[in-house]
Amino acid sequence: MKKIILLSNDDGVEARGIKVLMEGLADLGTLYVVAPSDQMSGSSHSITLGREIEVIERGERIYAVRGTPADCTLIALFGLLPRKPDLVISGINLGYNLGEDVFYSGTVAAAREGALYGVRAMSVSIEDVENPRWETALYFAKELAKRILRGELGGRLLNVNIPSRRLEDIKGIRFTRLGTRSYRDPVERVGSCRFKIGGEPMWKWEEGTDLEAVGGSFVSVTPLKVDLTDYEVLHELE
């Protein structure tokens, strides 16, 4: 049976990253593209409850959803696809999703929603630079997708971050844990009752983290768990 791959993102159905995947992964199976109609970065894992969500067909197996990235995956799984897909790929996001970013990222959420329903999933992000190396990101996204489809990589949800370098300048793949960071001055007052969230990110460089890997020109692959339970504390409480 031919594989079914669902593509989504948080940058929108017209984003360059998802078009790169559409063109580059066509030989791996039947592709369905279900992505937000508009830019939805930073939407995290929010879903739309209690109101109708418009879905616009943009082409053969291409759908634009007026909703969040998680909405897209949910609608695809239970409303658009002929069966549950073999793989969900979210991206290619322009800009890393490292460390605590996984809690804020709509890119990761679109993949995580698939994992919640038992589908293998992968979120893919590339370093945001002036001239992103889309061909490098596609190469590693495709290689990892092939290995997942062949059952060679464990884990239900993988978060992949790829430096924007020439393929020959990438030193390899590292399997990593999430790094950590905080923001300097995360909230700026811009009026008497108006604020802006942002600030300068301050990363903590530690060995074995996703941040260290991409900083050293490695592709970072971080397996994520859907279950957020802190079992060590749970055991202590019991």
Quote the mean pLDDT of the chain. 95
Alpha carbon distances (Å) from 135 to 3, 33, 61: 23, 20, 24
The per-residue pLDDT for 182 is 75
Q: Mind listing the pLDDT tens digit for each residue in 3-28? A: 999 999 999 999 999 999 999 999 99
- Residue 43's pLDDT is 86
Query: What is the percent of the chain with per-residue pLDDT over 70, rounded to a whole number?
Result: 100
According to CATH, the topology of domain 4-179+206-237 is Stationary-phase Survival Protein Sure Homolog; Chain: A, (3.40.1210)
Q: What is the pLDDT of residue 66?
A: 97
Domain boundaries defined on the chain = 4-179+206-237
Element spanning 146, H or E: helix 134-149
> Rounded to two decimals, what is the model's pTM?
0.94
- Angstrom distance (rounded) from CA 88 to CA 86: 7
Q: Buried b vs exposed e over 122-141: b needs ≥16 C-beta within 10 Å?
A: bbbbbbeeeebbbebbbbbb
How far from chain centre, in Å, is Cα 16? 15
Q: Residues 41-65: pLDDT tens digits?
A: 888 999 999 999 999 999 999 999 9
